[in-house]
Chains A and B, each alone.
Chain A
Amino acid sequence: MKRMSSLQQHGWVHPDQDRAQAACPHALQISHIHHAYGSRAILQDLSFQVKNGEWVGIIGPNGSGKSTLLSLLSRAERLQSGHIEVYNKPIEAYKRKELSQLMAVLQQEALPSLPFSVREVVEMGRFPHQSWFGGEKQDSTALVDHIMEQLELTQLAEQPLEQLSGGQRQRAALGKLMAQSPSLVLLDEPTTYLDIHHQVQFMDVISEWQQDCGLTVVSVLHDLNLAALYCDRILVLHQGQLVADGAPEDIMTSQILSDVFETRTVIVPHPEVAKPQVLICTDKQ
C-alpha cells in the first residue's frame, strides 16, 4: 500500500476540522456515563478522555459494555446520563451531517450484499459533505480516485458489492470511511471476519492514516495482540466499569488479564517491536 502523505493535497483534512482540532486537545471527553437496559446496568460511571491523534483500544470480555459505549459515542443510542463532548462540544448539540463530517463509524457487520458498485459505495461516504442535490464545494473525484488506489480497489471499481469476497467488502467499507474524511473514527471489532493477511493490511492502513493526518482512532478489539501492536493506549472494561487505562506494556499483565478475562496467560515481548504479546495457557494435558 502506498503512503498517504499526499492525501492532504486532495482536500483530505478540511479547514473546519483543522480549526476544531487546533482549538482543543481532546477529540473526546466522556464523563460519568451511566447506561442501563431496564434494570440491568451496562455502563457505570464511566469517564475518560481521548487526545487528538491518539489510537485508543477498548478491550474487555463479552458483555462488558464495549459495544454500548461505541453506540453512545456514535450517537446511535441516546445518552441516559452523563456527558460526551466531541471537540469540546456536547455530542447532542451537533447536527447529524455536522457530526458525520467529524466522525465516521466502521461497523462490525460487513456491508450488505448489494448491486451497487465499489466506486458508488465509496462515493456514498461523501454524503455528509454534499448538498441535498449531491453537489460539493470542492470536487471530490480526485480524493475518491486516490482512496481507490490506496486500498487497491481501482481494479474492482465497477464490480458490484455482491460479487466481492469478505476481505474485499471490508476494504470497500474502509474506502467509504476514508471518503467521509473524518478526523475521528470509531471501529467496532473491524478485523473479526478477516484472515491474518487482511487483518494486518487493515490495521496498517488505519495506522498510516493516523500518522499522516493526525486521525484519532477509538477501536473495540477482541484480538489482544493486535491491540497491543497498534494502540497507543488501552482501556479495559469489565462489568461496565473502567478497570485499567494505560499504555499496552502497562495493561498487558497476566494479573489484569486473569482478573478480567478469567483466563491464564503468559506475556512475552514481541521479538521485533517493543510491544507485549499474549500467549494463552490451557490446563489441557
Chain B
Amino acid sequence: MKSSKGLSRITAIGAAGITLLLLSIVGCLAVGSVHMPFGEITRILLHHIPGLQDLFPPTWEDASAQIMMKVRLPRVMLALFVGASLGTAGAAFQGVLRNPLADPYTLGVSSGASVGAAVLITFNLQLALFGQWSIPIVAFVTAVMTLLVVLLMARHSGKMAIETLILSGVVVNAFLGACVSFMVSMSKQTVNDILYWTMGSLALRGWQYVLIIAPYFLITFIILCAYARPLNLLSLGERQAAHLGLHVERTKWIVLLTATLVTAGAVSVSGVIGFVGLVVPHMLRLMIGPDYRLLMPMSAIGGAIYVMWADTIARSILAPTEIPLGVVTAFVGAPFFAYLLIRNKKKQRLG
C-alpha cells in the first residue's frame, strides 16, 4: 500500500523527529543555574542506560550527577510526557471533531480538572486526602466526570453529533470556568494558588510523577496510533467513512475517551498548559501533511519538544522566579504559528 517513496519519507521524518527530541533533552538539561557542558550530560545519561555503565565510567563530580538525575532530568522527562500527551490528544481531538479550533480542552477536561484543584486549594485541603497526590487525583476525577457529563449531554439516540458535542463542551467550560473564577475572587491571597495552578507548572514534581504518567501515556498513545487509519477516513466525512465500512460512532467514542483520559492525566500533574494541543498538530499538518499515521506519533514528539523548551524558558529566563508554563507556551507558540500560516499562504499563492 505504501510506495517505497512514501516509506523513505516516513523514515526521514521520523528520524528527524527523534533526533530533535534527543537533542532537546540534552539541550534542556544543560540550562540552569549550575553550568554543565553537553558532553558531560550525554555521558551521565549514557552511564545510566543498563549495559553501558562500563563504557562511560564516572569522570564527573558527584554533585553534577546529583543535580542532573534528581532535579533536572525528572523535570525534563515530565515535560516530555506532558507535552507528548497534549500533542497526541490534540491531534486526536482535531481528527474526530474536524474543527480547526478543537484542542484537548474542547470537551471541558481542563475546567473540570481546575474546579477539582480549586476546591482543594480554596478549602486548604491540598494535602488532606492523599498527601501530595491529593490535587492530581481529585483533578483527574473531576476532569473525567466532566467529560462524561459532556458526552451524555451530546448523546442523542445512540449517536453523537459533532456540533452538539462541541457546543456541550463550550457550555460546560463556561459554567465550570465561572466556578473557578468565583473561587479565585473569594480567595484573600495576593498571589493566588488557584490562578497559578490554572496556568500550569512542572516545578517540584520529582520522579514519582514521571513514573506514573509515562506508562499511562504509552498505553493511550498506542491506542490512538492504532486509530490513525480510521481518523484518515473520518476526514472524508462521517458518512463517507461509514460507507467504507468504518464503525463511525464506536471510533468517535473510543478516540474521544482515550484522548480525554490522556489529557486528564497530563492536566492533573501539571495544571492547565494551553496552546500545545491546539497548535502542535496544526503546525505539523502544515509541515508533513494530513496523514494521521504520521501525524499522530509526530504530534507526540512535537508536543514533547515544545513543552520541554517552554518549561526550560519558564524556569530559566527570570530565574529564580518561574514564569507560569502556560504563559510561555502561548507567548512563544502564537507568533510561530502565525509565521507558519503566513508562509503557507504565500506558498499556496505561488504554487
Complex interface: chain B residues within 8 A of A97 (CB): 245
Complex interface: chain B residues within 8 A of A134 (CB): 1, 229, 293
Tell me the residues in window 190-204 of chain B with beta carbons closer than 8 Å to chain A beta carbons: none
**What separation, in Å, do the CA atoms of A101 and B243 have in the docked complex?**
10
Complex interface: chain B residues within 8 A of A42 (CB): none
Please pick, from B3, B239, B245, the residue contacting A127 in the complex, using a CB distance under 8 A: B245
- Contact of B244 with A125 in the complex, beta carbons under 8 Å: yes
Complex interface: chain B residues within 8 A of A89 (CB): none
Asked if A86 CB lies within 8 Å of chain B CBs, one says no
**What separation, in Å, do the CA atoms of A120 and B291 have in the docked complex?**
9
User: A101-B245, A105-B243, A114-B290 are contacts. A140–B1 as well, Cβ < 8 Å?
Assistant: yes
- Contact of A127 with B244 in the complex, beta carbons under 8 Å: yes
Asked if B100 CB lies within 8 Å of chain A CBs, one says no
User: A76-B239, A121-B236, A127-B229 are contacts. A96–B1 as well, Cβ < 8 Å?
Assistant: no
**What separation, in Å, do the CA atoms of A136 and B229 have in the docked complex?**
14
Asked if A242 CB lies within 8 Å of chain B CBs, one says no
Please pick, from B236, B245, B290, the residue contacting A128 in the complex, using a CB distance under 8 A: B245
Complex interface: chain B residues within 8 A of A76 (CB): 239, 242-243
Complex interface: chain B residues within 8 A of A99 (CB): 245
- Contact of B229 with A111 in the complex, beta carbons under 8 Å: no
**What separation, in Å, do the CA atoms of A109 and B243 have in the docked complex?**
14
User: A107-B239, A111-B240, A141-B1 are contacts. A124–B232 as well, Cβ < 8 Å?
Assistant: yes
- Contact of B243 with A104 in the complex, beta carbons under 8 Å: yes
Asked if B343 CB lies within 8 Å of chain A CBs, one says no
User: A116-B290, A134-B1 are contacts. A124–B233 as well, Cβ < 8 Å?
Assistant: yes
- Contact of B240 with A128 in the complex, beta carbons under 8 Å: no
Asked if B235 CB lies within 8 Å of chain A CBs, one says yes
Tally A-B pairs: CB < 8 A.
68
Of B236, B242, B244, the most chain A CB neighbours within 10 A belong to B244
**What separation, in Å, do the CA atoms of A112 and B233 have in the docked complex?**
12
- Contact of B246 with A127 in the complex, beta carbons under 8 Å: yes
Asked if B215 CB lies within 8 Å of chain A CBs, one says no
- Contact of A96 with B247 in the complex, beta carbons under 8 Å: yes
Complex interface: chain A residues within 8 A of B205 (CB): none
Please pick, from A74, A104, A107, A136, the residue contacting B1 in the complex, using a CB distance under 8 A: A136
Tell me the residues in window 137-177 of chain A with beta carbons closer than 8 Å to chain B beta carbons: 139-141
**What separation, in Å, do the CA atoms of A130 and B290 have in the docked complex?**
20
Interface residues on A, range: 20 to 34
Q: Count residues of chain B with CB under 8 A from any CB of chain A.
A: 22
Nearest B residue to A75, CB-CB = B242
Q: How far is the CB of B313 from chain A (nearest CB, A)?
A: 31
Q: How far is the CB of A97 from chain B (nearest CB, A)?
A: 4
Asked if A180 CB lies within 8 Å of chain B CBs, one says yes
Q: How far is the CB of A163 from chain B (nearest CB, A)?
A: 8
User: A127-B245, A141-B1 are contacts. A116–B235 as well, Cβ < 8 Å?
Assistant: yes
User: A96-B246, A97-B245, A180-B244 are contacts. A112–B291 as well, Cβ < 8 Å?
Assistant: no
Nearest B residue to A114, CB-CB = B235
Nearest A residue to B242, CB-CB = A76
- Contact of A132 with B226 in the complex, beta carbons under 8 Å: yes
**What separation, in Å, do the CA atoms of A116 and B237 have in the docked complex?**
13
Complex interface: chain A residues within 8 A of B233 (CB): 124, 127
Nearest B residue to A135, CB-CB = B1
Q: How far is the CB of A283 from chain B (nearest CB, A)?
A: 41
Complex interface: chain A residues within 8 A of B291 (CB): 116, 120
Asked if A66 CB lies within 8 Å of chain B CBs, one says no
**What separation, in Å, do the CA atoms of A126 and B291 have in the docked complex?**
16
Nearest A residue to B293, CB-CB = A134
Asked if B43 CB lies within 8 Å of chain A CBs, one says no
Asked if B47 CB lies within 8 Å of chain A CBs, one says no
Asked if B72 CB lies within 8 Å of chain A CBs, one says no
Asked if A246 CB lies within 8 Å of chain B CBs, one says no
Asked if B58 CB lies within 8 Å of chain A CBs, one says no
- Contact of B245 with A96 in the complex, beta carbons under 8 Å: yes
Can you list 5 A-B pairs with a CB-CB distance of less than 8 A? A96-B245, A96-B247, A116-B291, A124-B232, A139-B1
The interface of chain A, by Cβ under 8 A from chain B, is: 74, 76, 96-101, 104-105, 107, 109, 111-112, 114-116, 120-121, 123-128, 130, 132, 134-136, 139-141, 180
Given contacts A74-B243, A127-B233, 8 further A-B contacts (CB under 8 A): A100-B244, A107-B240, A114-B235, A115-B285, A116-B235, A130-B1, A134-B1, A141-B3
Which 3 pairs show the lowest CB-CB distances between chains A and B?
A: A100-B245, A128-B245, A97-B245
